[in-house]
Amino acid sequence: MQSSNHYQSSYRVGRDNVRILRMELHNPVFFITAFLTVAFVIGVLAFPQDANVILDRAKNWSIDNFHWLVMISGNFFVLFCLLLIVLPFGKVRLGGPDAEPEFSRLSWFSMLFAAGMGIGLMFWCVAEPVAYYTNWSGTPLNVAPHSPEAAAAAMGAALYHWGLHPWAIFAVVALSLAFFSFNKGLPLATRSIFYPLFGEQCWRWPGHIIDVVAVFATIFGLATSLGLGAKQATGGLHSVFGVDNGLTTQLLLIAVITAIAIVSVVRGLDRGVRVLSNFNILAALLLLVFVICAGPTLATVFGIGENLSYYLAHFLPLSDWVGRDDEAWYKSWTVFYWAWWISWSPFVGVFIARISRGRSVREFVTAVLLLPTLVSAIWMSVFGGIALDQAQQGIGALAGGLTDPSLALFHMLENLPFTILASLLAVVLVLTFFITSADSGSLVIDIITAGGKLDTPRYQRAFWAVLLGFIAAALLIGGGSDALSALQAGTITMAVPFTLVLLLSCLCLILGLLSEAN
């Protein structure tokens, strides 16, 4: 294990090289990822049907051959994070003993949560529990649909997918990046995590390959979320104003949101992303309070604790990957979710690391792992619980089962007072989460492709914002009538190789923390 001084000396060499390469426009990570991304967009737009077939085959191959790897890794990351909280490493402060946090706890939490899963939680908070209960695409643990057991399993599985596992994945990447950047003086790039294993090779092709894989995982993970956001936002506009929610409207919305994201990303982290993230939290809180008050209030509030008990009761059965009776369900839902979170992890990891200087390891892991899990559980319990109640009581469109997931939230709101106002607020929230993910994602990809440099030219950040919009649009077009499957395909395919990267990063983080303790 190298000394801290050697880390910092190596960083100075690496950082200077990054500056020279960037000024001469020879950074291989930037050009490789930009070229391949543009080529992918052109290929999908030119041959949409062929692209859909290829994406679907790649998804099925990845799931059939590597579902066990994804499941085992997800469980391992949860255990790893829990150990970090209780081990002596928890006293280590990111940035050194005298480091002070850059943001308040409220702003810090708002940004990490908004970037982490805002769009996805809005999209699935109603659709997922109803889908499990009504057997839209299988039921968790193969329970009988439309039964009391199905309702309990539906909420338990929904909370499971949005609970500890995703945030453990994010925490591993974010903590590793923050530690090696702030404590060891290395660039804020994925390659820096692997300095304990590769040494100076991190600044050469092994490091380039790691960053390229990280960028592509990020791009497809983000594109999935942006595609879902576009589908739900147009679905909301259709419900409120009767606007057509077809592909043309979705593409137009992506173009508008991309333009707004460019403005935000050009303004920077403090004046752009932070302001939008704080607004997201306030708007989300307003919508949450409204739904609680407008729905069956007491049943909803007491249901939060009950649903948490369902989460705990189903935690171990859903974490098992051997001999499942619901193999088709768990491959199409749980494996996809874990792949989605793994693909998102470079994006969320870099972003959370960027805003977390001055936090102790224990504070960091506790906040990133436990607080968002609790908030997600409350959100899913409120919206999903009311939706399940409507489905069970035969109220509204959800009584007939799930038809279009992008409309599920608005179908639930139709049966509450002040439907139009609530639906408008939901649409605004989806759009702002959309913008936050687009601009923070562009910022993160730019940081990785610039070799970890934080202060990059504005036009370069805007370039990635535009490219992300094109990727989301291309996947929607390539997917045709099954756009959701196309969005999932890219995510799952890129998640498999990056799973191995994450497992190795845990080893590197332990080595780094040991050197800090010494």
DSSP 8-state class, residue 146: T
Q: Look at the chain and count its residues.
A: 518
Per-residue pLDDT of the chain (518 residues; tens, 9 = 90+): 444 444 444 443 334 443 333 333 336 888 888 898 888 888 877 887 787 788 888 888 888 899 999 999 999 999 999 999 999 888 999 998 888 888 888 778 776 665 555 678 888 999 999 999 999 989 999 999 999 999 999 999 999 999 999 999 999 999 999 999 999 999 888 999 999 999 989 888 889 999 998 888 888 877 777 777 888 888 888 888 888 888 889 889 888 888 888 887 777 655 556 677 678 778 888 999 999 999 999 999 999 999 999 999 999 999 999 989 899 899 989 998 998 889 888 888 887 888 899 999 999 999 889 888 888 899 999 999 999 999 999 999 998 888 888 899 999 999 999 999 999 999 888 888 878 777 777 888 888 888 777 777 777 888 888 888 888 887 777 665 455 566 677 778 888 888 999 999 999 999 999 888 77
Per-residue DSSP letters for 431-466? HHHHHHHHHHHHHHHHHHHTTT-SS--HHHHHHHHH
Q: Residue 452: left (phi > 0), alpha (psi -120 to 50), or beta? A: left
Residues 6+ apart with CB under 8 A from 240: 410, 420, 423, 424, 427
> How far is 472 from 129, CA to CA, in rounded Å?
26
What tokens does 255 get? Answer: 């173009």
Look at residue 495 in the predicted model and tell me its pLDDT: 87
> How far is 436 from 347, CA to CA, in rounded Å?
12
Residues 6+ apart with CB under 8 A from 437: 114, 115, 118, 119, 222, 225, 226, 229
What tokens does 210 get? Answer: 């790691």
In DSSP terms, 93 is beta-bridged to 360
Closest CA to 272 of 435, 63, 489, 481: 435
Look at residue 365 in the predicted model and tell me its pLDDT: 94
Look at residue 193 in the predicted model and tell me its pLDDT: 94
Look at residue 134 in the predicted model and tell me its pLDDT: 94
State which amino acid sits at residue 239: S
Tell me the CA distances in angstroms from 65 to 68, 70, 198, one per residue in order.
8, 10, 29
> How far is 389 from 403, CA to CA, in rounded Å?
17
> How far is 255 from 470, CA to CA, in rounded Å?
9
Read off φ and ψ for residue 360, nearest 5 degrees: -75, 160
Closest CA to 352 of 110, 92, 96: 110
Look at residue 330 in the predicted model and tell me its pLDDT: 93
Look at residue 156 in the predicted model and tell me its pLDDT: 97
> How far is 284 from 297, CA to CA, in rounded Å?
17
3-state percent breakdown (helix, strand, coil) of the chain, nearest 5: 85, 0, 15
In contact, 73 and 503? CB cutoff 8 Å: yes
Reduced 3-state DSSP string for 21-88: HHHCCCCHHHHHHHHHHHHHHHHHHHCHHHHHHHHHHHHHHHHHHHHHHHHHHHHHHHHHHHHHHHCH
Look at residue 168 in the predicted model and tell me its pLDDT: 96
Q: CA 412, 476, 171, 122: dihedral to nearest 10 degrees?
A: -10
Could you count the other beta carbons within 10 Å of the beta carbon of residue 92? Answer: 20
